[in-house]
Amino acid sequence: MLIDNEIQKLELRAQDIRATIIAMLVAAGSGHTAGPLGMADIFAAFYFHILNHDPKHPEWEERDRLILSNGHICPVHYAAMAHSGYFPIEECLTLRKFGSRLQGHPERLRLPGLETTSGPLGEGLSQAAGMAYAFRMDGKKQRVYCLMSDGEQQEGNIWEAAMFAGKHKLHNLTAIMDRNNIQIDGMTENVMPLEPLADKYRAFGWHVLEVNGHDMSAFIAAIDEAKAIYEKPTLLIAHTIPGKGVPEIEFDYHWHGKPPTAEEGKRFLKEIRTLKGKISHEYA
């Protein structure tokens, strides 16, 4: 169990990641805002506590694999990687620039530390299941984590992968679904209803947990439970707030694929710094 001081450090890391996300989106003038902000806590947990990885040796053979299926939220992935030491934080400001390693959707061959190229939704779970299956065949102990959106559960490929993973009892595979309830055209339950998600995955042979994606202790405890399940893959349905950390845009689907202006960016950064101060005070 993590002590309060360790939780505080992770929560402060998440706020640093959020600030970097805003800075890079303003510099790029394009990109997605709501999803990356909503997943900052989860990425902080992965890169600063959960993953077995080495930023100085990104191709280390024994590393865990983290697959980002919903590639459009890559600003949070890049920011977490930068803050953990994969590349200089200043490089984040090259997001979406011509020739940059930080493209609008991740390109594996451009940036060491990325495991897959992603963009078309629905593919990541198949890639992750294939990796987990290969590791088990080879007797390897690495774990595979697949981050995916709720909106991409509308893709048929997801369910083929879910069926494959369930059939082969891939206990070394953990999928994390960002259940933020929005997609580019509106709320998921209005565009194409997804529920009951937990029951669907259980029917495909998965162990399913639901967790508050902004509660560091609860999320890490859920990951620990997934590691203890040996007869089936695990899905964590992480309930998150899109735009988390910037109250004026939280739960507003219009911010799914819209970047802040320079003026909005200044205001958003102020709100993030205010929240960071509250976190520091809470644990003082």
How many whole angstroms separate alpha carbon 34 and alpha carbon 256? 5
What pLDDT sits at residue 3?
A: 78
Region of 15 (left: φ > 0; alpha: ψ -120 to 50; beta: rest) is alpha
Give ∠ CA 16-120-259 in degrees, rounded to 5. 40
**What are the tokens at 274?**
């205010």
- 8 A C-beta contact, residue 261 and residue 234: no
Domains of the chain: 4-282 (3.40.50.970)
What pLDDT sits at residue 281?
A: 66
Residue reference for tokens 């984040």: 92
Question: What are the DSSP E strand ranges found in 46-168?
Answer: 65-68, 144-149
For residue range 151-193, what is the model confidence (pLDDT) as tens digits? 999 999 999 999 999 999 999 999 999 999 998 888 999 999 9
- 8 A C-beta contact, residue 55 and residue 85: yes
For residue range 132-160, what is the model confidence (pLDDT) as tens digits? 999 999 999 999 999 999 999 999 999 99
**What global pTM score does this model have?**
0.95
With bands split at pLDDT 50, 70 and 90, how would you rate the model's confidence at 284? low
Residue 4 has pLDDT above 90, yes or no: no
Question: What is the arithmetic mean of pLDDT over 41-51?
Answer: 98
